[in-house]
Amino acid sequence: MSARPAPSTAVSTPPPTSPSAPQSAPAPAPALTPEPVLVSGLAPAPARSLLRERTIPRLVTQESGLVARVGPQQYTFRRGALDDLVRILDEGGYRSLALVHGEVGLGKARPFLPDLEKSGIEVLDIPFGGECTLAESERIADLLVKGDLHAVLAVGGGKVLDTAKAAALRAGDLPLILVPTLASNCAPWACLSVMYEADGTPIGHEIHSTQAKALLVEPRILLDSPLETLRAGIGDTLAKWYECVGGLEAAPASDLCVGLATHAARQCRDVLLGDGAQALADMDAGTDSEQWRRVVQVVIMTAGLVGSFGGSFGRATGAHAVHDGISVLTSQAQTPHGTKVAYGTLVQLSLEGRWEEVDDLDAVHDALGLPCTLGDLGVTEDPSEAVRTIAHVATLAGKTIHNLPFPVTARDVERAIEALEDHESARRRDHMRTPIHTGGHTNG
């Protein structure tokens, strides 16, 4: 599938956003008069440029209340899923699109993508810049508006898809089709984008008002991805139950959405405990098994449904905040998201005094190759300094750890990490464990 390259464009970088404070909302643009005439669901290009000023989202760290954003308008998981692409574009009347992609991910997906230009669809090629930042979202949004494009096709890992979601919204809420190349998190499903600084430091997330037009999952692409990305996806998804169950239990019992979110969170735990180890073994052998398919769909879809139906009651708490702290360590720059979250889950359980569950998860982490200690993660910084850094970042104002039903200070997190490390040291006195490998492409 050939495509014309994106023109170069100068982009003004948005003002830096403090990790501890939400970005203030932009001043609203004047009302459009008259309202644009929609053709195939799209406003003309000049109107979309003005509309863009009204759709730039606010960077948020928390959301209150229950707002359900259920999922993509179409979800397909099967061999040949990308064959639906031309039909989806034809039905929407979309005759041009931007192909936003990671280089490795596109290489994996290319054998399964239809030749869009042969179908009369103009394609603008936009390679991903490497990190899901506010500036990168703006850069791609500028190209979308200048190209007068009808839709966006995003191919890659979670950060590629999150960037494309943010850019499509900024460009006037363009229809979006997502093709994940990794099963490492629920980014393909979630109606939000996790934002980072250029150095990979998490700064918060944007919650989007519109879901993707379609999510097309080709199992053969995911089966050819690095094994470590699925291992990380399992770690990220296991956290759904341990992080969210408290919030879901505190939600109004009369809201049936909460029941659906709770069921999804329980499935995240039960399917991965039952099938996770076999799925990793099958993927390592290149086997497209039923267990592997169940695990992949739990990571991509079921995990996304927890937040989709649970709203703020189904959001992250302690484990993801600890992830944020780990992410600022130089030694952890290449460690996958879900691998850091997996350690964060144990820290949260330590913080809550849930030691029986720590023991249960220890055995699971050992079987799956997930970390139980900072040493397993490969942290090379001074241990005391690393613990202080993690705890400081994890408890900054606005971090998800403050969603827990009790106040948490940096010193509380330090003590929880120290207690966990002591617990693991005692458990392992008679045997050693080699730090897990965290290589492989992680951003599509």
In sequence order, what are the beta bridge partners of 213? none
Helix-strand-coil split of the chain, %, nearest 5? 50, 10, 40
Confidence tier at 205 by pLDDT (50, 70, 90): confident
- Mean pLDDT computed over 262-284: 96
Please give the angle made by the CA atoms of 237, 241 and 244, to the nearest 5 degrees.
Answer: 110
* Tokens matching residue 50: 């003005």
Domains in the chain: boundaries = 52-222, 231-427
Range with the lowest mean pLDDT among 231-235, 250-254, 352-356, 410-414?
A: 250-254
Closest listed residue to residue 96, CA positions, set 214, 175, 211: 175
Q: What are phi and psi of 254, to 5 degrees?
A: -80, -10
Concatenating the DSSP letter of every residue in 81-142 gives GGGGHHHHHHHHT--EEEEEE-HHHHHHHGGGS--TGGGT-EEEEEE--SS--HHHHHHHHH
- CATH match of 52-222 with 3.40.50.1970: yes
**Dist. CA 376–CA 436, nearest whole Å:** 6
- Domain 231-427, CATH: 1.20.1090.10
Confidence tier at 1 by pLDDT (50, 70, 90): low
How long, in residues, is the chain?
Answer: 444
* Tokens matching residue 243: 């992080």
17 pLDDT higher than 60: no
Cα 419 to Cα 229, 317, 338: the distances in Å are: 29, 19, 22
274 Cβ contact list (under 8 Å, min separation 6): none
* Tokens matching residue 219: 């199992």
**The pLDDT of residue 312:** 80
Please, what is the average pLDDT of the chain? 86
Q: Radius of gyration of the chain from Cα atoms?
A: 21
**The pLDDT of residue 119:** 92
**The pLDDT of residue 432:** 53
Closest listed residue to residue 63, CA positions, set 205, 246, 250: 205
135 pLDDT higher than 80: yes
12 pLDDT higher than 80: no
Coil/strand/helix, residue 203: strand
**The pLDDT of residue 250:** 84
HSE of 93, CA atoms in CB hemisphere, 13 A: 6
Coil/strand/helix, residue 384: helix
Q: Which residue in this structure is represented by tokens 């009651």? A: 313
Percent of the residues in the chain that have a pLDDT greater than 90, as a whole number: 72
Q: What is the pLDDT of residues 331-387, one digit of tens each?
A: 999 999 999 999 999 999 999 999 999 999 999 999 999 999 999 999 999 999 999
Q: What is the pLDDT of residues 159-185, one digit of tens each?
A: 999 999 999 999 999 999 999 999 999
**Dist. CA 112–CA 82, nearest whole Å:** 7
180 in Cβ contact with 222 (< 8 Å): yes
- Mean pLDDT computed over 208-221: 95
Q: What is the pLDDT of residues 304-328, one digit of tens each?
A: 999 999 888 888 999 999 999 999 9
**Dist. CA 182–CA 155, nearest whole Å:** 10
203 pLDDT higher than 60: yes
190 in Cβ contact with 316 (< 8 Å): no
In sequence order, what are the beta bridge partners of 192? 207
* Tokens matching residue 149: 């494009």
Cα 75 to Cα 166, 179, 213: the distances in Å are: 20, 11, 9
- Mean pLDDT computed over 82-111: 96
CB under 8 A, 24+ apart: contacts of 22-29: 22/58, 22/59, 22/60, 22/61, 22/204, 22/398, 23/58, 23/59, 23/134, 23/204, 24/58, 25/58, 26/53, 26/56, 28/54, 29/53, 29/54
**The pLDDT of residue 429:** 83
Rounded-to-10 torsion of CA 274, 279, 280, 282? 140
262 pLDDT higher than 60: yes
**Dist. CA 236–CA 285, nearest whole Å:** 23
**Dist. CA 131–CA 133, nearest whole Å:** 6
**The pLDDT of residue 368:** 97
Range with the lowest mean pLDDT among 10-19, 57-66, 87-96?
A: 10-19
**Dist. CA 234–CA 238, nearest whole Å:** 6
Q: What is the pLDDT of residues 404-437, one digit of tens each?
A: 999 999 999 999 999 999 999 999 886 655 444 4
